Structure 1
Amino acid sequence: MQKPVRWGILGASNFAKGATGPAIHAAKGAKLVALATSSAEKAAGYQAFCPDLKIHSSYDSLLSDPDIDAVYIPLPNHLHVEWALKAMDAGKHVLCEKPVALKAEEIDPLIAKRDETGLLATEAYMIVHHPQWQRTKQLVEDGAIGDLVHVDGVFSFNNAEDKTNIRNRPETGGGALPDIGVYTFGSARWVTGQEPDTLTADITFENDVDVITRVTARFPSFSYNCVISMRMHPRQDMFFHGTEGVIHLSAPFNPNSFGPAILRLHQPNQSIREERFPSANHYVTQFEAFGDSVRNGTPFAWTFEDAKGTQAMIDRAYAAAR
């Protein structure tokens, strides 16, 4: 039997405590070994589901731990590049939360370091590991909706009252586009394999942070529009509209927590075929896929190059609006 990939987490974020930490613990071929935090209180939250967890008081201490094979980085956005590079320099495989960088060109050093070290290092873009998205990509490629004509999506929530949230702070790389625009942008790119030729954006800023964004773009073979917001009632939808059908994902980005993962295929005879994925956890499958790639060289579904393409689209949206 192959040894599990031994993981360490940099920083005791609430997101990692509630979602990705337990996912590492649950994933086949993965073992959560250590956490870097100086807070005993925060460490206790992790030890509640992983009692044997080793606690390091600093990030550097965790990176020097020989018992760790891979590092998961859920730090604030502006710290991602720095600590991903340090982790690779320490010989660790890296899975870094999105957005991995704040500008597309900042991803180039990560690509270079990954290639230099031969380590598996990439962005934690979990949705491509969910069967509803894998199925969507397959259906579009197989022509289930005919020729793809238009893609549109919405991802919104409202955190206006949470002023101290890192998403509402420019100094930590906040904003709706870095936080959730990566999903409406990246999912369309991943399913189609295309990049936008033209793009326009209308952005509402508060405290120099984008809070509502409306984007219209033209890809080589389809049109695209989306709404991304941190100031609107929660909504998640993605549509792929073709000449002979429509694919609708009603909980595309936070399945189960937002709603059930349902893929609806609207067909020419006006029938609707539903496919449901009630037991899928894309955080668990992401770490399982990462381990399979580390141990067996299996191609990983999302690379730094993929992340750079999405970040370039975000950069273009900012430039178009400003």
Structure 2
Amino acid sequence: MEGNQEPVRFGIMGCARIARKICRAIKLAPNATLHAIASRSLQKAEAFATKNGLNEAISVKIYGTYIELLDDPDVDAVYMPLPTSLHVEWAVLAAFKKKHLLLEKPTALDSAQLDQILKACDINGVQFMDGTMWYHHPRTAKIHQIISDSTIFGHICSVCCASSFLADPEFLDSNIRINPECDALGALGDLGWYCIGLILWVVNYKMPTYVTALPEATLNSKGVILGCNASFHWEEEPKTNATFYRSFLSHVSMDLTVCGSNGSVRLHDQAIPYQESSASFFLTTGVKCVDVQTEGSVEPVEVVVESQLPQEGLMVQEFARLVKGVKNSERWCDRRWGEISRKTQLGLDAVRQSIELGFKPVFMQQD
């Protein structure tokens, strides 16, 4: 822990299921501590505390309203897993209350709302980060090191990814992620955020020339997306294309394939690694067509990357490190995380617009 040894004090604002995972991550991160939790009622907050073994921790405060947590002067940072429709209201207020903001994805219903949040964070000098965990796993850095080395991997030609799970009838009937008043983006926001973020990460956040949603999109009776495919295209030579699938209607998938002119990377547990202490991917390089024809296929090499903490713990640790630096006046807020979220949100907006336009291409503004 750098500078002041006091850990960053977190408040969890909302008791959604994912908050249980971040509650544990805060406990695991060496530079963070859980100071308070809040829900829309004291009963819900107390039930969350009981389920997560917080009742014995007398230092954890329990609030029955969100505003009480934001008014707590001892809360340094807020983790906010509220429904997406509530993000802009409460995230902006949190920023003006000088609370650093770890905001669950999708960050907003559209980029205009996210811009309001980022502007409030900028004005008030608070750190912003979205809750995408896989960015922080050391496997992510290792893969990026390989695919960014043109001498090893060559030009990135294509990216394919999928994120899905088979929702049960109860989920499809009543879950907030298919309720247009709570999370109108449906599978596009909940699962598509991973796919779009992955694709842009692979190409170093260069925005595509255009985005096209494919016609087989499935919507529920309220117009919320349950499953869809889309493609991203970069027209500048040498060209790159990406396709992705996200759905609440098919078996679990967390697949990523990156194909370069000299190599390929594949994995099947991108969003949530199979193990907390390590994660792997398969790398193939240097295979020529003539080799395949005369000598058979080349076996991929499995690359294993160890991890000291689960990826959510690493996310909290990195966020707390940035917050501590701002609090100690050692550094400015790192705007890179807001820029990553905004580009992901712009990609999401483009897919949604393409669906609304009858699956026509949506051309993107370039950097």
Indicate the TM-score class for this superposition, using the shorter chain for normalisation: over 0.9
Output the TM-score relative to the length of structure 1: 0.93
The equivalent residue for 1:290 is 319
Provide the TM-score with structure 2 as the length reference. 0.82
User: Does residue 229 of structure 2 align to residue 214 of structure 1?
Assistant: yes
Mean alpha-carbon deviation: is it higher for 86-95 or for 166-175?
166-175
SS in 1 for 2:190: helix
More displaced 10-residue stretch of structure 1: 283-292 or 163-172: 163-172
1:195 aligns to what SS in structure 2?
Answer: coil
Q: Are 1:251 and 1:258, in contact at CA under 8 Å, matched by a contact in 2?
A: no
The residue number in structure 2 matching 1:226 is 244
SS at structure 1 position matched to 2:141:
helix
Partner of 1:195: 207
Counterpart contact for 1:29–1:288, Cα < 8 Å = yes
Tell me, yes or no, if structure 1 residue 157 matches structure 2 residue 165.
yes
Describe the superposition over 1:214-267 as per-residue Cα deviations: whole angstroms up to 9, x where unpaired.
Answer: 112202441111111110011111011011110112200011379973211112
Q: Which 4+ stretches in 1 moved above 6 angstroms?
A: 257-260
Alpha-carbon offset, residue 14 of structure 1: 1.6
Aligned to 1:68: 75
Distance 2:55 2:147 in 1: 40
User: How far, CA to CA, are the matches of 1:301 and 1:32 in structure 2?
Assistant: 25
Amino acid at match of 2:322: S
1:41-98 CA-partner distances (Å, limit 9, x unpaired): 2331233487332101111001111111001001111111111111111111111100
CA shift digits 1:250-309 (9 cap, x unpaired):
200011379973211112252422122464511100111011112233875952222121
In structure 2, C-alpha distance between the alignment counterparts of 1:235 and 1:258, rounded to whole Å: 18
In structure 2, the partner of 1:173 is 183
Aligned CA distance change for structure 1 residues 213 and 88 (closer, same or farther; 3 Å)? same
Matched, 1:274 2:315: no
CA distance in structure 2 between the partners assigned to 1:47 and 1:271 by the alignment: 47
Seen in structure 2, the aligned counterparts of structure 1 residues 319 and 171 have a Cα distance that, compared at 3 Å, is same
Please report the RMSD computed on the Cα atoms of aligned residues, expressed in angstroms. 2.1
Question: Against the structure 1 CA distance between its residues 2 and 303, is the aligned structure 2 distance closer, same or farther, given a 3 Å change threshold?
Answer: same
Following the alignment from structure 1 to structure 2, what is the Cα–Cα distance between the partners of residues 49 and 263?
Answer: 40
8 Å CA contact retained: 1:132, 1:277: yes
* 1:114-148 per-position Cα deviation (integer Å, ceiling 9, x unaligned): 22111112212221111121112111111232111
Larger Rg: 2
Given that 2:158 and 2:240 are in contact with CA atoms closer than 8 Å, whether structure 1 keeps it comes out as yes
Question: Separation in 1 of the partners of 2:99 and 2:252?
Answer: 37
Aligned residues: 321
Q: Summarize the alignment of residues 43-122 of structure 1 with structure 2, pairs less than 5 Å apart.
A: 43-48=49-54, 51-52=57-58, 53-122=60-129
Q: Which runs of 5+ in 1 are unaligned?
A: none
Q: Contact 2:9/2:74 (CA < 8 Å) preserved in 1?
A: yes
Give 1:253's aligned residue: 271
Structure 2: gaps of 5 or more residues: 288-297, 326-330, 357-367
CA contact (8 A) 1:6 1:30 kept: yes
Larger mean CA deviation between 300-309 and 179-188 belongs to 300-309
Which one is further off, 86-95 or 158-167?
158-167
8 Å CA contact 2:138, 2:306 repeated in 1: no
Aligned residue for 1:12, secondary structure, equals coil
Q: What residue number does 1:204 align with?
A: 218
Percent identity over the alignment is 30
| 2:256 matches 1:238 | yes
Q: Are 2:338 and 1:304 aligned?
A: yes
SS in 1 for 2:52: helix
Q: Is the 8 A contact 1:125 1:302 kept in 2?
A: no
Provide the residue aligned with 1:25 in structure 2.
Answer: 27
Amino acid in structure 1 at the alignment position of 2:229:
R
Distance 2:227 2:311 in 1: 27
